Structure 1
């Protein structure tokens, strides 16, 4: 199976971003070989990298 790329766009408030974590995890679980890119706002970059 060839890996593919997924773009996740999450722009919103901190609570919305945090509530999206289970979805991010599910995407990774279902597509372990995929390259996943997260498009978000600057304040959430460090939080996204920590997860």
Structure 2
């Protein structure tokens, strides 16, 4: 399961794939994959460096 962040409002969610529309702002947004792929943030599950 990945971590996704809305490029419009910053809403974050965990899902296998991003939704068509953001559940928070209800817009059709670009979702950024902010899943952690390095050991330094593995405990959080998401990469805080992705804004």
What TM-score results when the alignment is normalised by the length of structure 1? 0.25
Higher relative contact order (CA 8 A, sep 6+): 1
Q: Which structure has the greater CA radius of gyration?
A: 1
Structure with the larger helix share:
1
What TM-score results when the alignment is normalised by the length of structure 2? 0.25
